[in-house]
Structure 1
Amino acid sequence: MALQGVEQTILRDPALFYWIVFPITVVMILTGILRHYATVLMNNPPKPASTLAESRERLGLIRGVNLRNNASVLSKESFEMRKNYLVSAYQSGAFLKDPAMKLPFPLTIRFKSMLQSGVMTRDLDVRWVSSLSWYFLNLFGLQSVFGFILGSDNAANHMASQMASMNPAAGINPFQPGQDPDKLYQSEAENLEVIEHFCILDGVEERVLAHYAGRKSY
């Protein structure tokens, strides 16, 4: 047990600096440089711009979302006309980039799955740093060194930034690769079919007359 008022210290060989601390720093710098060039070599070519069919497929779903969000500014007739058009287009796959073949005869629901497939000493001076802590200090503290050697847009800095800001609860883009557009269309068609429409202009004449009639009564 350390005596009260006596600073705790560690006796170490001065050569440890050259055999532990300095090698860790050198290895971290070389690892960051190697990671940068490995990422550059393995990086996929840039994705080509969206074609007309891909843009139509993506924006077709947004039309249904916009219709639901702004249905109150449309009359009932205008809303029903737009809803019927979009529901029919969603169910028939009119907006799909690669429309699926539709069989000319009905099938039961059973065919759906087949066909739509550390250090714990309390009194130790805080200036002492463990090798593991020194590793993480180098991991996040060498970004300026990597920026000087490799430039600001380098893979080593990107890796450290991703580790520091890792968030598993990030939102999911509904248009990410792997999403089935047809399923999204069918879901949006159901949302349009069950929406209860109302127009903000319904009964506007009566509301205006009641408003001014109330003002005259005072």
Structure 2
Amino acid sequence: MAVKAEQDLYLDPSIRDWVLIPITLIMVLVGVLRHYVTLLLNSAPKKQAANAVREQRALGRAALLRQTAPLSPIPPAQYKSLSASFAAALSSGEYLKPVASKEGGDDASPPNPFEGAQMENMMDGMKKQGVMMVPNMVIMQYISVFFSGFVIMRLPFPLTAGFKSLLSRDLPMPDLDVRWVSALSWYFLNLFGLNGVFKLILGSNNAAVDARDLTAMSALSGAGGGMMAGPGGQPDMSKLFKSEVENLALAEGLYKWVGEGIEDRVLRSWGKL
């Protein structure tokens, strides 16, 4: 059986100094710059009306009571009293903010999603996507024009042929060993592999990588078992309240007091029982 000879390529050290290291530094610096530009583009949080805050806090307190039911620090009598009180208040709509009446009754047109807060949220998302996409497009085009076909490094460990398309994207050499990395492939490896570096430099909640802004209103969605949207894309709090009442009823069946049997547990731990 014929054994394929190992391929030896001799790379100019200038490729390491003027291609490999600069691409890595540029990707790190662009990520740091993207983080701070995103922070500058973030809109200042707006003040909410007192009744809207009261509405959200009531739902949050009910959800907290429900989530701690399997091992609750609240004694049984107090827990049942709180659960019944929350269920009655949420069912009656005590915490719901008054809905502004519209002229025209039922014939009034629905709110325009391209006005007010909805439009501002859409613009914030577009600005953040622009900050993410524009630098990546510029850098990728720059590398494709000036460093297309460059072999810049060799990985020190063996890989299967399945990594060929990942590491040698712009190298038209099907017989080249999979361990050789092209300049464009190195760019993509840095694009998706520098998350740990950015966490080390900027912290875990950084804006240097994508996949952000997917957890907005997570407390409300978790409390209601899913976001229930009303007119204009806003959450329908009345439906969320009704869903939370059902969740509170289910949580009562899972309730267990953390202090139940504490005397026997303490005596058993000291070998007295």
Aligning the two structures, in what range does the TM-score lie when normalised by the shorter sequence? 0.3 to 0.5
TM-score (norm 1): 0.47
Q: Which has the larger radius of gyration?
A: 1
User: Larger RCO: Structure 1 or Structure 2 (Cα < 8 Å, ≥ 6 residues apart)?
Assistant: 1
TM-score (norm 2): 0.40
